[in-house]
Amino acid sequence: METIRAHAFVTGRVQGVFFRATTADEAASIGGLAGYVANLPDGRVEVVCEGPKELVERLVAWLWHGPPMAKVTDVKVTWEPPVGNLAVFSVAYRR
């Protein structure tokens, strides 16, 4: 099975609505994914995800909806070769 990496930026009402925690839960539910989700200072959420192509695509499709309180207006995804430096999917906290 082909392994891929998605680097996504999610725009809209995506901070303060449990987007990070719910994304991590969704990745765990899908299984087989590694990466992180983080809030950015400009109000967007960044998601980096590696794993089998079908599973990564499922998480990226989910990003368009997010948790119930979110209002996603855009998801920009860059498909990249996998780096293999991520072991688990986690919430990243940036300052």
Reported as half-sphere exposure (CB side, CA atoms, 13 A), residue 90 has a value of 6
Among 5, 39, 44, 94, the one annotated catalytic = 39
Q: Is 95 a catalytic residue?
A: no
- 10 Å CB burial of residue 57 (0-12, 13-18, 19+) is middle
Q: How far apart are CA 40 and CA 58, in angstroms?
A: 23
Among 20, 44, 58, 94, the one annotated catalytic = 20
Q: Is 39 a catalytic residue?
A: yes
67: tokens are 């948790």
Catalytically active residues, by annotation: 20, 39
